[in-house]
A and B are shown apart, each in its own frame.
Chain A
Amino acid sequence: MIQTNDCIDQAVLVDYLYEEADLETCQRVADHVRVCERCANEIRALKGLRGTLHAWGPSKPELGFRVVSEAEVSRAPGLGAGGTHWRPVWGLAAVAVLVVAVATAIVRPEVEVSRGGFVVRLGGAGSAATEPPRERAASGRSTELAGRVTRVTPVSSLSGATTAPGVDVQLGPPWSASSEEVWLRTVRELIRASEQRQTRVLFDRVQAVEQRIAEQRQADLSEMERTFREVDAEDAEFARRQLLEYMRRISNQR
């Protein structure tokens, strides 16, 4: 059996220290400590160490992990369904921004507002879709898409359009209130995620500044201590002047 010293067994000591010892053992240790200075010091030091250890820990993190169900993912605009996902909010925001950016770069959308609603024209400025939206909708060749895009009609199938390579997407009356709510919710989430990210960054910066200040202070104190140590009877006046000069200099720095 390993002994902490000649008196108390190591296992008994940690049991006692962490209050897992039974009453009889506690009493035995307490009785022993009263007459054994060595053990009393050992226990006092370990208790003190435990107190010191509690200064150590991480900052308060922003975590907020949550399981996102398949249904939630499939409802989210811009994201496809794909099983149960585990995504932090910033991840969703980044994906959404990426998808929008890529889509914009590819289709080069143009928006045209008219009395009958508004038209989003995809495929670049060369598109020859000049008909009013209602006429196009009546062409009977539209394809239903889920979600916010209600119809997609190939431009080449429209009268007078023979060369444009793109497609027209009509957003008119079929735009539903529920899809609008989904959009709004998504936008709110994106904004919230962005705010949280900025707060985190700000917090990190403040911490860094605080640390730099503390380090500078420590360096100042060390320098002053060093200077004081150098002071002796012969060059006390010189050292005092040197110290004053140093303090004036760091004071000006701040």
Chain B
Amino acid sequence: MSIAQTATIGMQSTDEELVALAMTGDADSFNQLTLRWERPIFALAFRVIGREEDARDVCQETFLRAFRGIKGFKGQAKFSSWLYRIALNLCRDWIRRERRSAVLTPLTGDTGTAPAHDGGSPVENAEDRSVRRDLGRVITEAMSALSEEQRTTIVLKEYHGLTFQEIADLQACPLSTVKTRLYQGLSVLRRQLEDSGIHSGALLPVAR
């Protein structure tokens, strides 16, 4: 089968179909899943641990573990939820290993660019980029004031659109805890941003 054919099939297939093929040892199908999910997983890792290079490592390790464990995937949860769980466990390991709770260090200069999986704005000019970058830096600092659980909850809900129930399953906690973490996290962020002179929604329109 040619690469083009494989790619076409991959684009048309659902995650479940590709997982079924990958479980039989079909590496091409797994590569299609990787192509589909690597950016969201990278974005998740970046927002939780805050460093692009380490996020890249976490992303790679996530797919490696998924490939090795694909035969044990029972299909009780969505494939993406399973990936998120692996990635979050790796992020947690990373944070413990590095002994950091607030790990967000915007040293690369990339923080605050248009989010990768959002596609960004193709017509964004230099000034917009600059504003966005400054804002991103402030948000990064504000995020570092949150607990790991609050930050992860906000990231999963705000940037990955998981339902409260999916987040509760991932974090193995009650639904009410997820909502509490989210609300309290948002409140802390709001205060932090206001202390930095940014009033919510003053600079950018509401995305949803």
Contacts and interface: CB of A to CB of B under 8 A. Distances in A.
Interface string A31-54: 000000000000011111111111
A141 B56 CA distance: 51
A10 B42 contact: no
Contact of B136 (A49, A55, A208): A55
A93 B43 CA distance: 27
Given A56-B47, A57-B136, A58-B52, A49 B190 contact: yes
Contact of B207 (A54, A84, A214): A54
Contacts of B157: 18
A67 B139 contact: no
Contact of B113 (A10, A58, A65): A58
Contacts of A55: 112, 132, 135-136, 139, 203-204
A61 interface: yes
Interface residues of A, number: 46
Interface string B135-161: 110011001000000000010011100
Given A65-B60, A211-B109, A57 B206 contact: no
A65 B59 contact: yes
Contacts of B198: 52
A48 B200 contact: yes
B189 interface: yes
Contacts, number: 167
B34 interface: yes
Contacts of A66: 31, 34-35
Contacts of A50: 158, 206-208
Residues of B in contact with A, size category = 35 or more
A58 B199 CA distance: 23
A204 B136 CA distance: 17
B116 A59 contact: yes
Contacts of B110: 58-59, 207
Given A48-B206, A211-B133, A54 B190 contact: no
Contact of A61 (B34, B39, B179, B186): B39
A63 interface: yes
Given A2-B180, A15-B179, 12 more contacts: A10-B180, A15-B164, A44-B201, A46-B200, A49-B193, A56-B139, A57-B115, A58-B47, A58-B111, A59-B113, A86-B64, A218-B134
Interface of B: 27, 30-31, 34-35, 38-39, 42-43, 46-47, 52, 55-56, 59-60, 63-64, 67, 108-118, 120, 126, 129-130, 132-136, 139-140, 143, 154, 157-159, 163-164, 176, 179-180, 182-183, 186, 189-190, 193, 198-208
Interface of A: 2, 4, 10-11, 13-15, 18-20, 44-61, 63-69, 84, 86, 88, 204, 207-208, 210-211, 214, 217-218
Q: Which 10 A-B pairs have the closest CB atoms?
A: A48-B201, A57-B115, A48-B200, A51-B206, A49-B200, A211-B109, A59-B110, A58-B46, A56-B139, A54-B207
